[in-house]
Amino acid sequence: MNSKLKTAVIIAAVAIISALTSFFTMVAWAGKSDKVFPGVTVRGTDLGNMTKTEAGQVLEEYARLVGRETVTIRFDGHSGSVELAGAGLDIKVDAMVNKAWSIGREGNLLTQWQERRAVAQNGREIPLEFSVSRKKFGTVINEMTKAVRVSPKDAALIITDEDTVEVIDSAKGVGVDIDDGYRQLNKLIEENKITENPEIALQLIDINPARTKEDLEKMRVNGLLASFTTKFDAGKTNRVYNIKVAAAALDGQMIKPGEEFSFNSIVGPRSQEAGYKMAPTILNNEFIDSLGGGVCQVSTTLYNTLLLANVEIKERSNHSLVVSYVPLGQDAAVSYGGKDLKFRNNLPGALIIKSSVSGNRITLKLFGDTSLRKTIKVVNTVVKEYPFKIIYKDDPALPKGEQVVDQKGVKGYRVTSRMLIYEGGNLVESRTLSPSYYKPLDQVVLVGTKPVPAKPVQGGQTGDQTGDQTGDQTGNQAGDQAGQPPNGEPGGDNSGDSTGEDNTGNDSTENDSTENDSTGNDGDPSSDTSPGDMPPDG
- Percent of the chain's residues with pLDDT above 90: 69
pLDDT at 458: 60
According to the model, what pLDDT value does residue 184 have?
96
The pLDDT value given to residue 506 = 32
In contact, 214 and 187? CB cutoff 8 Å: no
Output the CA–CA distances (angstroms, integers) from residue 480 to 393, 415, 473, in the order listed: 10, 38, 10
Buried/exposed 278-300: b ≥16 CB within 10 Å, e otherwise: ebbbbeeeebeeebbbbbbbbbb
Mean pLDDT to the nearest integer, 111-121: 89
> Phi-psi bin for 294: left (phi > 0), alpha (psi -120 to 50), beta?
left
**What's the mean pLDDT in 148-164?**
95
Amino acid present at 112: Q
Q: Is residue 522 pLDDT above 50, yes or no?
A: no
pLDDT per residue over 361-381, tens digit each? 999 999 999 999 999 999 999
Residue 420 has pLDDT above 50, yes or no: yes
Q: Exposed (0-12), middle (13-18) or buried (19+): which is 494, by Cβ within 10 Å?
A: middle
Q: What is the predicted pLDDT for the residue at 282?
A: 75
- Give strand pairing partners of 357: 362
pLDDT one-digit tens code per residue, 230-270: 999 999 999 999 999 999 999 999 999 999 999 999 999 99
Dihedral of alpha carbons 180, 184, 185, 186, sign: positive
Checking if the pLDDT of 16 tops 80, the result is: no
Q: What per-residue confidence (pLDDT) applies to 292?
A: 84
Residue type, 202: L
For residue 514, the model assigns a pLDDT of 34
The pTM score is 0.65
442 neighbors 407 (Cβ within 8 angstroms): yes
pLDDT at 107: 87
Which residues does 193 contact at the CB level (< 8 Å), separation at least 6? none
- pLDDT at residue 83 above 70? yes
125-129, 348-352, 487-491: least confident range? 487-491
Surface-to-core class of residue 501, CB atoms within 10 Å of its CB (0-12 exposed, 13-18 middle, 19+ buried): middle
Quote the CA–CA distance of 536 and 293 in Å, as a whole number.
11
- Region 286-309 average pLDDT: 92
